[in-house]
Every structure is written in structure tokens, then in C-alpha cells.
Amino acid sequence: MSYGIEIHDELTPFNEALKAGLQPGSINPPVGAAVVLAFQNHFLELSPNKQGWASTNFWSRCAKATHFNLLAEGVLISVSQVGARQRLEGGDIRPVNHTYLTIPATEAAYGHTAREFKLKFAIVNDNGFQRPALVAQRSVASQVTKTKTGKYKHTADEVGQVVFYWLVRQVHQEPDPNTIPPEDEIRATIGDTVQGIVDRATRRAGRA
């Protein structure tokens, strides 16, 4: 999925470009490249996740998936990364071809699918609420200790189940406008780029 922005503006540098006789064909490609770079830098500065777990490199993948296309009327910036639009616009997320969504409950599950683990369905008490979950199989923690008589004693304790994923019917994600650079930053990038093109064209004309 991609999210695009069409760049149309009436900034002073554009007016100067028109006065200098510059054509869109000489302006749009560097403008597109500059805005793509602004998006990429913005993505790479975003925090990996709220829990502080090991990154799945989502934002770096967004950066790599950012590109531009030339249009007759301007430039189209696209981020062809699944999940980018959802983070920007928010909305309800429901399971597709499944009953539940799997929400990671532990760092070990984050960035992985439930199929990668040997898990079982369980109803778990979560602060007084009974919630469906996928949990790890119970395991046994064993230890060998030396008694006062000099003999060795083996003990085994059953470890409680570990919730890997909470199961929910749907979740609502709030929109996050910080997913992409602020509009004023995009406008500034465009203006600076066009101004640079105009300045270089003016210097070349002065040397002619």
C-alpha cells in the first residue's frame, strides 16, 4: 500500500523559476528527490516501538520504500510499505480469514507470527478480566542442590504459562500525523530546492 502527496505550490521560488524561464522538467526531479530524502530522514528518526522492544526495522523499510513519480502537474511521493497508511490515518483493524488478531504480549513474540511458536489457546486472568490468549506450553524448572548430609537432591517446579499473544476481535488505532514529516517542513524542503535551482540558473545566465 502506498500513500502519496501531490506537490502543488505557489511559493516565491516557483514564481522566480517561472520568471527565469525554467520548465517543470528541470524542477520536478530534484524537488522529488529532495522530498523523498526528507521523508526517509524522518522515518529513520522515529522510535522503533512504544515498548522499547527490539526493532522490526519497520521505519527503515518505510524509508527504503519511499520514492517519487513525475506527474504532468507536479510530483507524487509514495511510501509503498504495508502499514504506513494505517499508522498515518488510523482506524479499526479486524482479522482477515481468522477469528482473532494476535497482539504480542512479550518481546519474544514481537515481530513474529504465532505459527512460529508451539502455543496453545487459553483463557487467562488479566487483572481480574478473563481474556483469550495464546500461551507457551508449561515447562519444568529443575535444579540439583546438595543437602546437609552431602547427598544431592533434585527438585522440579512447574513454571506458570507465559502469554505470548493476547487475542482480540479488533483494535482501533489512533491516527498519527507524525508518521510523515510536517507540512511546513515539506514546503520548506520544496522551497529551498527550487530556490537552489533558480540561483544556479541565475549564476549560469550571468556567466553566459
119-126 vs 129-136, strand pairing mode? antiparallel
Q: What is the pTM of this model?
A: 0.79
Domain ranges of the chain: 1-90+175-208, 91-173
3-state helix, strand, coil in the chain (%, to 5): 35, 30, 35
The Cβ-side half-sphere exposure at 36, using a 13 Å CA radius, reads 19
pLDDT at 110: 93
Q: Which of 47, 22, 17, 64 is nearest to 178 (CA)?
A: 47
Indicate the SS3 state at residue 33: helix
pLDDT at 175: 96
| Grid cell of 60 as nine digits | 527503515
Rounded-to-integer distance, Cα 40 and Cα 19, Å: 32
Whether the per-residue pLDDT at 5 is higher than 70: the answer is no
Q: Which of 20, 24, 13 is nearest to 192 (CA)?
A: 13
Bigger pLDDT: 137 vs 191: 191
- Radius of gyration (Cα) for the chain, nearest Å? 27
Whether the per-residue pLDDT at 123 is higher than 60: the answer is yes
